[in-house]
Chain A
């Protein structure tokens, strides 16, 4: 297949960003090292930022193709999958520790680069559009607000490993505002509803799952008490496109090495688990881990990170809300898939 190399790689951008580093930070500004030499399914070579050029296939129709962006924390790349074929149509390189993702209605995708303390905004075709810096902590999740255009970033913890926060960047601004729920210590993933309310998950200092809400216009986040079941480890957060449910991923579904997506009915400061979507691999076994997925078009798109050691990691499509075995999958690329976002061309 003919591949077109895009001119701007994140490696170059990361180097250019060095001049903006904060001397007081124990983290050096983003930089790049040598690239990994080989990757074996299920056992990726421990890599440094991948300096190979990014590429995007000309097969992408900028207006028609839906693209699933998947970040990989081992190969340190972001892969672009054409939907519904799941064919790889691009690879964006140069990240230090890519994790969570979010996208807007224009098709732009934000990728958090945890160790670099950056959030990169990529176009539908994978071009770097903008870079947000995060001097407070280590970004993991992000969410785009369709009401305001704000981008919220969840820092799992601060630079000393203490309580995290949510940073909200207004459109066009690189100066965020910090928000916390005083009871929440670790901040993982988040999603907005249509009214500007931000929901995000994480854990208490003792490690218990927590769900919080930053209501539109509020200065502090509040705890959402969850009933009707137990969520063991925080995963994706997204308002369902098919119902009024808040979808919250559990990376340790039932306390085991399995992943499910719980459907929560929100009422004030309480939430009830009304249903749960169990995800399986192509063999009919529970997926080992879905860190972040996207629900849209009657499907869940995301990746099974197979650290359980049974099969290779795969990027899959599952029917929603029935779950079960994937309707399509691709095991050729990802090794440690983390974040996922759907980009629709315009």
Chain B
């Protein structure tokens, strides 16, 4: 069942009341917020000059991908071509990929752009997450299922174009996410057939098949549950299991090593992927963004120090609706 886009201006306005606004404010409501309220569902827009800043892309349950200025936390744009936007990833040029589980398409946007510059047909698979190899530009898409509920896959689009090479696993029927490390190896995760246990497989840099891999956790007897996504933080692969924190893992020539974890102390976090702000890609990121939905169903995004974690240092909520994924595209 595919979700319909629902935009209710009043809720959007109320939701934005507590969020820091951009420089131009009218009666406590930013011009961008008013514009968002006036915009009809399905219409994309982006503030002029938005692309000069680092941007946050949030995929929401209402079918929109909302875009924010990283520094000011202001809503600066909306992308609205989706049915069910899910995972997002960014290439080294700052182009943003959004996978749509409703249309089974992958959309590529230029940093700050409002129209997709490329669309990849991922059908019959239903995409859930994605990752880009910064060295080759290859795009990997984690597919949760195939046609008629058949097993999912990892689809790799060479140079993020054309038809993919599809990799399947006899033990992982439902792929949730994937990420490349700095040597071009891809770590993937998904769920066992009859449980929420998470399993892992890696695709070697020159490999032609997924290979099962044990991923150690914080305890020697650790079992991973419900890992919803993997990201690269500039130094390590980062696992998100929907809890109040993320886990750093090293993947070195087919061996996974436990490294550390970052605990985030605010309530309501979980269920959404994290976005890691990494202004210097050769070093570990410095801030992590986490989506939240509270007990009154209000949603937003928190900022936390990284990798130290702890309490949040800021947030925004305008336009955020039960966020599924967060990606950060750096300005060039």
| Interface of A toward B, CB cutoff 8 Å | 14, 26-33, 40, 42-49, 73-74, 76, 96-97, 99, 114-116, 138, 156-157, 159-161, 186, 207, 233, 251, 256-257, 289, 305, 307-310, 335-336, 338
Contacts and interface: CB of A to CB of B under 8 A. Distances in A.
A114 B256 CA distance: 10
20 contacts: A26-B218, A27-B218, A27-B219, A27-B220, A32-B221, A33-B221, A40-B170, A43-B170, A43-B212, A44-B212, A46-B200, A74-B212, A156-B257, A157-B257, A161-B260, A186-B252, A257-B207, A289-B253, A307-B204, A338-B255
B220 A115 contact: yes
B214 A73 contact: yes
A76 B258 CA distance: 16
B170 to A, nearest CB: 6
B216 interface: yes
Chain A contact surface mostly: loop
Given A26-B261, A31-B219, A115-B258, A307 B170 contact: no
B138 interface: no
B102 to A, nearest CB: 31
B231 interface: no
Given A31-B220, A96-B220, A138 B213 contact: no
A40 B220 CA distance: 24
B212 A45 contact: yes
Contact of A46 (B170, B212, B248): B212
Nearest to A140: B255
Contacts of B258: 26-27, 115, 138
A161 B214 contact: no
A84 to B, nearest CB: 28
Given A27-B219, A338-B255, A161 B236 contact: yes
Q: How large is the interface on B (under 10, 10 to 19, 20 to 34, 35 or more residues)?
A: 35 or more
Given A74-B214, A76-B214, A161-B236, A49 B220 contact: yes
A336 B254 contact: yes
B236 to A, nearest CB: 6
B221 A160 contact: no
B207 A156 contact: no
Contacts of A138: 257-258
Contacts of A43: 169-171, 211-212
A97 B216 contact: yes
Given A307-B211, A309-B209, A161 B250 contact: yes
Contacts of B218: 26-28
B90 to A, nearest CB: 22
Contact of B220 (A45, A73, A116, A186): A116
B254 A305 contact: yes
A335 B201 CA distance: 14
B252 A156 contact: yes
B166 to A, nearest CB: 14
B223 A233 contact: no
B199 interface: yes
A31 B199 CA distance: 20
Interface in B177-215: 182-183, 199-200, 204-209, 211-215
A99 B256 CA distance: 12
Interface in B214-247: 214-216, 218-223, 235-236
B34 interface: no
A91 B257 CA distance: 24
B259 interface: yes
B208 to A, nearest CB: 5
Interface in B145-199: 169-171, 182-183, 199
Contacts of B259: 160-161
A46 B189 CA distance: 11
Interface in B54-104: none
Interface centre among B222, B236, B255 (most CB of A within 10 A): B255
A290 B205 CA distance: 16
B224 to A, nearest CB: 9
A307 B254 contact: yes
A96 B215 CA distance: 11
Interface centre among A30, A45, A307 (most CB of B within 10 A): A307
Interface centre among B199, B220, B235, B255 (most CB of A within 10 A): B220
A289 B220 contact: no
Contacts of B253: 233, 251, 289
A251 to B, nearest CB: 6
